[in-house]
Amino acid sequence: MQETDYTEFTEITPSADIETARHGGRAKCLQRLIRLGLPVPKTVALSFDAVHRIAVGQMPDKSALLSLFGATPLVSVRPSSGDPDWGGPGAILNIGMNAATHAALAEKLGQEAADRLYLRFIQSYAIHVARLDPDRFEEEACNHETIRAALLAYEEETDSPFPQAPERQLGQVLRSMARAWEGTTARLLRQAKGAPADAGLGLVVQEMALGIGPVESGSGVIQYVDSTTGLHQITGRYLSQSQGRAALKQGEGVLYLTRDPRGRSLEEQCPEIFEELKRWGDICRQRLREEMQIEFTIEGGTLHVLDAVRVQRTSRAAVRIAVSLADDFIISREEALARIEPRALNELLHSQVDPRGARDRFARGIPASPGAATGKIVFGSAAAQASAARGEPCILVRRETSPEDIRGMHAAAGVLTERGGMTSHAAVIARGLGLPCVVGVSEMRLKARDGQLVAADGRVFHEGDIITIDGTSGEALVGAVDMLEPALDDAFRTLLSWAEEVCDIGVRANADTPADAQTARNFGADGIGLCRTEHMFFEEDRLTVMREMIFAKTEQDRRAALDQLLPMQRADFTRLFEIMQGLPVCIRLFDPPLHEFLPHSREGMSELADALDLPLSDVIRRVEFLSEFNPMLGMRGVRLGVTVPEIYEMQARAIFEATIEARRKGDPVVPEIMIPLVSAMREVELVKTRIDAVAAAVRTERGTDFDYRLGVMVETPRAALRAGDIVQHAAFLSFGTNDLTQMTYGLSRDDAGRFMGSYVQQGVFPEDPFHTLDVDGVGELLLIGAGRARNARPEVVLSICGEHGGNAESIAFCRNAGFDYVSCSPFRVPVARLAAAHLAIAAAAKLAC
């Protein structure tokens, strides 16, 4: 606990006892500037404790404080909190202005300048300190008359004359700033930005460096990098006052900083001062190890530095600045990595809605896949494909998506669904494709048959209307909006390569297609941790064969259909192995219920009857037969593998033949085969025996040997509890936390979106457990499963491949539990990699302590 600081105030000198934790960031930064020799006017710091005492009525010795600033003090007061992002009261300038100073300054600087200083002070004091109605203090013109009017207005409003004594002015300013900080609204606002409830406010009192005078005078800010790109470039502004107020009004007082064809520049007008500013910028960068924005004044040709703050920056700029500082050996690579918030990388990976532009929101849902996209509304996959064929970007709007929509999703620029949650079909697929997606927009009503989407406020949108979805914020917006493009530039790649070097937990990608695999490679994934093979069967040419297989009455017919699918699957896997060039590829055997491959509409069923040359009634009967009350808990995953073994046998053969094929091209492939939805050891035993037999057959047929590794997906609570038995037949276990969360909570991953918002809002769940791993419940199952598996088979490889694999908190949990790798959507690999690097850096730092 911090001890109470009874010091009333401290002049900031190089050796003064100033700490960020007691005086705030601004005070500490000013001390650093002073230590570096920057020309900072005299400054005094008041600690958090001192300011708190002011708020409760205990003033410091104001005369003693002001005496540090000479006989006629003129000072400013600025806030100095622990973090500039927490906000705080605005600065008050020119405290000490009164009738006498006004007259003296009129002599020294001219009447106009003195009038302006006095009027502006009266106005800001009246509005921000005495908290009077701003309407009465809005006068722009500065002259004797307007000053008199302002003084009169003050007196009328407060029943007392405008305070003339600098001590009284300062006291009131300090009190009002201290109280503003302690107010409930201000506290709630800063807490929302991450400030602790008891965050303190320090204040700095600084001698005014007016930037007014006959020789070149003025005020400005300068920074040395561009806030949007992070590239080295001098930007800022400088307002020259030496030309007088009249010139300023005509815009002549504005000097560009650097040589500029549009007009005069500071560089040309005051080359020495400009060079001095550049030198200070460089010194700040080297010694403060940060890109700073410097606030300065020039008074009669002399430079004063009033303050310096960290340059505001986009995530893209933050990455470039961090990499550039490390490249120049100013900070270490570890520090560069630690300076970037993993989630911030999303801004670089996807287009974003430009925060500076206007947005007209018509709906809000769950931000399921980051990035933004604009396009015409389409209500079905066929329309999405047609739109893509015309080269028109579209947004696929559905009640919810199913595997049948995959082709539509591939064709769309973004996806918006009325139902669903973080791990619903639309969300998972969209993240895999890097497609912006908003799900669970329960407030909108979809009338797909009428081609209408009705927003909560009654606005109606039709097919073809342009909308924008923002998968980062979860908003749906009317029309097209300004966008910021993704920035996968050299700085991003450099940062990622540094993260790979320090990361001590593997990061693989969930990749189903060659395109996914290529993205995974581009982002430096350590392999594929989950290839969901069923997605391969939704391609146009395969769906009919798949349906033939489902409709087969005998094993022989089924095998005949599967024989047609075999070469297609083999080609899929060969391509994946080729792209991954010897990196591990984990292929999950078929998982979904078969009825997902069947048409649901009467029209679709008639088409199928035509294609299969069957009576429509047969098709209807078969579809009805296969439909289940609760398909997610029905005939899917390993249950299909046990009861319809030919499917897994075909897949195993395709994997082995592809292995031989890819190895012939030089890649050392050892495929990993994973069995989904296991709940009992015997299931694994049965499937393993069959796969071993297929491997033996392929080895004999091809006259060549190969290895493979068989693993189990732990996604039922029972599999976690029985991991000790199951692992006897499994070289690796991968926790499928999407289904495991669904089954642990008894919470449908496709329907949870309907009430999740309300549950989180009412504190039933701290977070959406499909988004952030529930470490207390699901996490305990992970630990139990991992522990039991390791006891029985110490060399077992453990991983997580549910959507949580890309989430920083879940990665920390898995790393602590000693997992070997996490696997997530390809577009989340960079974020996961950086989060993992942060954990490794923090652990190394802890060890070094």
Chain contacts with Mg ion (rule: CB under 5 A): 715, 736, 739
Which one from 23, 52, 350, 425 is the annotated catalytic residue? 425
428 binds, among ligand PEP, Mg ion, none (CB under 5 to 8 A by kind): ligand PEP
801 binds, among ligand PEP, Mg ion, none (CB under 5 to 8 A by kind): ligand PEP
- Segment lying near ligand PEP (by CB under 6 A), choices 14-22, 327-335, 514-522, 734-742: 734-742
- Minimal distance, residue 677 CB to ligand PEP, in Å: 8
- Please report whether residue 739 would count as binding ligand PEP according to CB under 6 A: yes
Q: Concatenated DSSP letters for 154-187? A: HHHHHSSPPP--HHHHHHHHHHHHHHHHHSHHHH
Burial of 615 (0-12, 13-18, 19+ CB in 10 A): exposed
684 binds, among Mg ion, ligand PEP, none (CB under 5 to 8 A by kind): none
- Segment lying near ligand PEP (by CB under 6 A), choices 54-62, 109-117, 201-209, 733-741: 733-741
- Tally Cβ neighbours within 10 Å of residue 514: 14
How far, in Å, CA of 436 to CA of 427, rounded? 9
Of 173 and 713, nearer to ligand PEP (C-beta) is: 713
Q: Concatenated DSSP letters for 69-96? A: T-SS--EEEEEEESSGGG--PPPEEEET
How far, in Å, CA of 156 to CA of 159, rounded? 5
DSSP alpha helix (H) spans, 638-713: 638-643, 645-664, 681-702
Q: Which of 320, 532, 828, 838 binds ligand PEP (CB under 6 A)?
A: 532
How far, in Å, CA of 734 to CA of 369, rounded? 23
Say what angle helices 166-182 and 184-192 make with each other, to 10 degrees.
Answer: 60
- Please report whether residue 736 would count as binding ligand PEP according to CB under 6 A: yes
Burial of 563 (0-12, 13-18, 19+ CB in 10 A): middle
- Minimal distance, residue 817 CB to ligand PEP, in Å: 16
- Residue 11: phi, psi to the nearest 5? -70, 135
- Segment lying near ligand PEP (by CB under 6 A), choices 173-181, 737-745, 767-775, 824-832: 737-745
Position of minimal CB gap to Mg ion: 739
- Please report whether residue 737 would count as binding ligand PEP according to CB under 6 A: yes
- Minimal distance, residue 25 CB to Mg ion, in Å: 47
Place of tokens 């979904």: 592
The conformation of residue 458, written as its DSSP 8-state character, comes to: S
- Segment lying near ligand PEP (by CB under 6 A), choices 56-64, 311-319, 481-489, 731-739: 731-739
Binding residues among 426-465 for ligand PEP as defined by CB under 6 A: 428
- Minimal distance, residue 832 CB to ligand PEP, in Å: 15
The conformation of residue 725, written as its DSSP 8-state character, comes to: H
Please answer whether residues 788 and 724 qualify as being in contact, where contact means their C-beta atoms are separated by less than 8 angstroms: yes
Binding mask 788-807 for ligand PEP (x = CB under 6 A): -------------xx-----
Residues binding ligand PEP: number (CB under 6 A): 11
- Minimal distance, residue 823 CB to ligand PEP, in Å: 8
- Minimal distance, residue 533 CB to ligand PEP, in Å: 10
- Minimal distance, residue 716 CB to ligand PEP, in Å: 10
737 binds, among ligand PEP, Mg ion, none (CB under 5 to 8 A by kind): ligand PEP
Measured in Å, how far apart are the chain's first and last C-alpha atoms? 21
Please answer whether residues 61 and 163 qualify as being in contact, where contact means their C-beta atoms are separated by less than 8 angstroms: no
Of 532 and 815, nearer to ligand PEP (C-beta) is: 532
In single-letter form, the type of residue at position 160 comes to S
Which one from 270, 801, 814, 824 is the annotated catalytic residue? 801
Binding residues among 498-517 for ligand PEP as defined by CB under 6 A: none
Characterize the bridge pairing of strands 254-255 and 232-240.
antiparallel
Please answer whether residues 512 and 406 qualify as being in contact, where contact means their C-beta atoms are separated by less than 8 angstroms: no
Give the Å distances, CA to CA, from 327 to 323, 332, 491, 693.
Answer: 6, 9, 10, 55
Residues, the chain: 849
Q: Which two tokens stand for residue 17?
A: 């006892």
Q: Minimal CA–CA distance to 472: which of 797, 831, 791, 774?
A: 831
530 binds, among Mg ion, ligand PEP, none (CB under 5 to 8 A by kind): ligand PEP
Position of minimal CB gap to ligand PEP: 736
Binding residues among 568-607 for ligand PEP as defined by CB under 6 A: 591
How far, in Å, CA of 719 to CA of 677, rounded? 8
Q: Concatenated DSSP letters for 545-613? A: HHHHHHH-SSHHHHHHHHHHHHHHHHHHHHHHHHHHTTS-EEEE---S-GGGGS--SHHHHHHHHHHHT
Q: Minimal CA–CA distance to 839: which of 368, 817, 530?
A: 817
- Segment lying near ligand PEP (by CB under 6 A), choices 65-73, 180-188, 492-500, 735-743: 735-743
- Minimal distance, residue 816 CB to ligand PEP, in Å: 20
Q: Residue 374 pairs with which residues in a beta bridge? A: 468
- Check if 801 is active-site: yes
- Check if 425 is active-site: yes
Place of tokens 């088979």: 793
- Minimal distance, residue 822 CB to Mg ion, in Å: 16
- Tally Cβ neighbours within 10 Å of residue 61: 11
Of 276 and 715, nearer to ligand PEP (C-beta) is: 715
- Tally Cβ neighbours within 10 Å of residue 663: 16
- Minimal distance, residue 760 CB to ligand PEP, in Å: 21
- Residue 56: phi, psi to the nearest 5? -100, 15
532 binds, among ligand PEP, Mg ion, none (CB under 5 to 8 A by kind): ligand PEP
- Segment lying near ligand PEP (by CB under 6 A), choices 122-130, 138-146, 575-583, 730-738: 730-738
Distance of CA 255 to the CA centre of its chain: 38
- Minimal distance, residue 738 CB to Mg ion, in Å: 5
Please answer whether residues 431 and 803 qualify as being in contact, where contact means their C-beta atoms are separated by less than 8 angstroms: yes
Of 315 and 737, nearer to ligand PEP (C-beta) is: 737
- Minimal distance, residue 828 CB to ligand PEP, in Å: 13
How far, in Å, CA of 151 to CA of 161, rounded? 7
Place of tokens 């995953």: 637
Of 572 and 661, nearer to ligand PEP (C-beta) is: 572
Q: Which two tokens stand for residue 534?
A: 């069923």
Q: Concatenated DSSP letters for 338-355? A: HTS-GGGGHHHHS-EE-T
- Minimal distance, residue 508 CB to ligand PEP, in Å: 12
Binding mask 708-727 for ligand PEP (x = CB under 6 A): -------x------------
How far, in Å, CA of 402 to CA of 409, rounded? 10
Binding residues among 65-94 for ligand PEP as defined by CB under 6 A: none
Question: Catalytic amino acids?
Answer: 425, 801
* Site of interaction with ligand PEP (CB under 6 A): 428, 530, 532, 591, 715, 736-739, 801-802
